[in-house]
Amino acid sequence: MRRSFLLAAAGLVFGGRAMAQPFTDAQRDEIVGILREALRRDPSILRDAFSALQAADERDRTEAQRGAIVAQRAALFGNAEDPVRGNPRGDVTIVEFFDVRCPYCKRLHEDMSELLNRDRNLRVVMKDIPILGPASVVASRALLAAQRQGKYTQLHDALMRSRGEPTEALIRAEAQRAGIDVPRLLREMDDPAIQRRLDANLALARALRIEGTPALVIGDLLVPGAVPLDQLERLVAEERQRPR
């Protein structure tokens, strides 16, 4: 009770025009003195106040992201140009935003591959967002060019499992191993249509307030970071049980 009063008092003092009748200078000084004495005796009041603010900010952020996912549902789940791993007709879809050079994306790739092996009714939509420099842009262009030859997954797997930088030499070698027409790949990497697709992916990531890679969208939930396999399975199971 005392804590609630003190926090409310702080809001009144520092909230400026929140009241129609502002405090006098003497009243403000008295309240500030009470607050200082309370914080001196129990510093946890300030910690609790910051925790409450952080929790409120996180709730607001989550709700904003859910709203953005609903607004962008067609771009997320229904773009026929997007590469798809797993079952194209799966009953649950995961949208994965990633950068080939991101080490956390490489870690997630291992768990996602195992998840797809275990769950044959799962659809994974791939959204390349090259945010880690020029080498990421080159790799993303190569992947989308490989998609035109029906080899996106093969090149994607090779680059995600590679420990080296995705240089042009590495891309050439992995593309050749995957049975890709390399001269055609190199030509089509420079097609402006491929850059437009990457730009659209980046704009979509901004609309969802994605701040890094990897990031997953499952249903109306945005999941940041490299999620371990057991958590992935739980999230998919929860989405599968949701009423349609």
Residue 152 belongs to what H/E stretch?
helix 152-161
For residues 163 and 165, give the distance between their C-alpha atoms in angstroms, rounded to a whole number. Answer: 7
Residue with tokens 């789940």: 77
Length of the chain, in residues:
244
What's residue 212's pLDDT? 94
Q: What is the pLDDT of residues 65-89, one digit of tens each?
A: 788 999 999 999 999 999 999 999 9
Strand partners for 94? 124, 218
Residue 225: left (phi > 0), alpha (psi -120 to 50), or beta? Answer: left
What's residue 57's pLDDT? 58
Per the CB < 8 A criterion, the answer to whether 227 and 70 are in contact is: no
Per the CB < 8 A criterion, the answer to whether 129 and 202 are in contact is: yes
Name residues whose C-beta falls within 8 Å of residue 187's C-beta, 6 or more positions apart in sequence. Answer: none
Nearest to 83, CA basis, from 125, 129, 140: 125
| Mean pLDDT in residue range 214-234 | 96
Residue 17: pLDDT above 90? no
